[in-house]
Amino acid sequence: MSGADAKKERAILAYSGGLDTSVCIKWLTEKYGLEVIAVVGDVGQEHDGLEAIKAKALATGAAECLVVDMRQTFADEYLSAALAANAMYENKYPLVSALSRPLICKHLVDAAHKLGARYIAHGCTGKGNDQVRFESSILMLDPSLEIIAPVRDWDLDSREAEMAWAAEHGIDVPATNASPYSIDDNLWGRAIECGVLEDPWIEPPSDIYTMICDPQDAPDEPAYVTISFKQGIPCAIDGEPMSYLEAIYAMNEKAGAHGFGRIDMVENRLVGVKSRECYECPGALSIIAAHKALEDVCLERNVLHHKLALEQTWAECVYNGQWFSPLKEALDAFMAHTQQCVTGEVKLKLYKGSCTVVGRASDYSLYAFELATYSAEDEFDQQAAKGFIDLHALSCKVWAQNRLAMGADMHQFARVANTTCEFDGGMGSAAA
């Protein structure tokens, strides 16, 4: 878009109070001649006061700044769907940032409608996932809105150039010794990247973590925590009834105090880049662990097995910015259906960086002692197993008979597994 045709039009900006989005305010007003309405979403991130963030937005040139407490909805609509899907991208990352973006976008689009804005702006760079999530979500909510991504578009080619531009334009620039990391956090955890973490060989300095103590310094005595679930959602901790939002806060505290929930991984971004990411998700990981343990006893085998596959799809879908897509909607319907009987209690043991499920109980439990036991109370019909196995293995037995009749060596597969890899990349054998 050109600066001229946008004069006096309004833009809604997703604002955090940080340097990037502050520069965005000036950039949008000065370069594009837009009136900027900043929207700050409280999704449970650490902050030194939302009023101070609002004051900064106004001082930097925003015409208005809306501060919205999104925490209850974030827990009840977004984190509950994530829990139903036990959502973990690449089996490790519980989607912290990916989950907050669509909710923030909903508020941005609402603000655009209420205030008659044609543009929505965000402060994401051009090489991350968040730009995809913001823009995909906004376009799915209202395809007529236009998106501006100043950080991606501007010709400030480095952090230094950005700071210099900010200082020239009277924006409060953090001291040069400010955190070298890029951080995004909310109720579901905290993401830390950049700085020394860009070398995947370097161990993350312990001080990057603020929610979780160093496991070495955690108490020498284990702590036991019982989480009660009603239809898949935590409803009490150690017998004390509470909302899901309160349970997330409580588990962030409890698991964090025992050093549990740190993640150090190299992940595949949607834009094709592998990036080293550290996370701390004490509440998310402990609640998901408990939830999965309850599902283990409450869900019938075939449902559980299909669900495991669909959980991966759900996580990828949300990671890739498809929160409002029809696929995600259909997957949610499946997940919600499975949660009807996920009611019961799970006992966790927290100890020096670990969180272990040590007990589970439910009125809907399908665990049958009399079928499982090897004691005298055994009611399982062992004789029925014989015929079951005959039929279960029948098709493969017919196959094996055919191959033997053709003179095949039935041990060849074992040998194939033992051959060395043909392609060694010119580096010699792996042992060298």
Of the candidates 51, 47, 44, which has an alpha carbon nearest to the alpha carbon of residue 65?
51
E strand or H helix at 277: strand 274-280
Contact 224, 348 (CB under 8 A): yes
Task: Specify whether 20 is catalytic.
Answer: yes
Task: Specify whether 136 is catalytic.
Answer: no
Of the candidates 241, 240, 286, which has an alpha carbon nearest to the alpha carbon of residue 259?
286
Contact 357, 290 (CB under 8 A): yes
Work out which of 45, 86, 97, 362 binds ligand ARG, going by CB under 6 A: 97
Of the candidates 276, 253, 248, 249, which has an alpha carbon nearest to the alpha carbon of residue 263?
276
Please give the structure tokens belonging to residue 41: 């979403």
- Name the active-site residue from 10, 130, 137, 275: 130
Give the torsion sign (CA, 272, 273, 274, 278): negative
- Name the active-site residue from 20, 190, 276, 362: 20
Q: Residue 180 Cβ, how far from ligand ARG at the closest point, in Å?
A: 12
Give the torsion sign (CA, 201, 288, 90, 72): negative
Task: Rank residues 124 and 346 by Cβ distance to ligand ARG and give the closer one.
Answer: 124
Q: Residue 161 Cβ, how far from ligand ARG at the closest point, in Å?
A: 19
Work out which of 21, 86, 129, 343 binds ligand ARG, going by CB under 6 A: 129
Residues within window 191-220 making contact with ligand ARG, judged by CB under 6 A: 191, 193
Of the candidates 272, 298, 432, 290, which has an alpha carbon nearest to the alpha carbon of residue 364?
298
CA angle at 336 for the pair 331 and 340, rounded to the nearest 5°: 150
Task: Specify whether 69 is catalytic.
Answer: no
Of the candidates 40, 44, 356, which has an alpha carbon nearest to the alpha carbon of residue 188?
44
Task: Specify whether 363 is catalytic.
Answer: no
- Name the active-site residue from 71, 101, 133, 360: 101
Q: Residue 182 Cβ, how far from ligand ARG at the closest point, in Å?
A: 4
Is 98 a residue that touches ligand ARG (CB under 6 A)? yes
Q: Residue 279 Cβ, how far from ligand ARG at the closest point, in Å?
A: 8
Pattern 177-196, binding to ligand ARG, x per CB under 6 A? Answer: -----xxx------x-x---
Q: Packing angle between helix 130-141 and helix 96-115, nearest 10 degrees?
A: 40
Pattern 270-289, binding to ligand ARG, x per CB under 6 A? Answer: -------x------------
- Name the active-site residue from 142, 182, 269, 296: 182
Task: Rank residues 21 and 129 by Cβ distance to ligand ARG and give the closer one.
Answer: 129
Q: Residue 223 Cβ, how far from ligand ARG at the closest point, in Å?
A: 29
- Residues marked active site are found at 20, 101, 130, 182
Query: Which residues contact ligand ARG by CB under 6 A?
Result: 97-98, 129-130, 182-184, 191, 193, 277
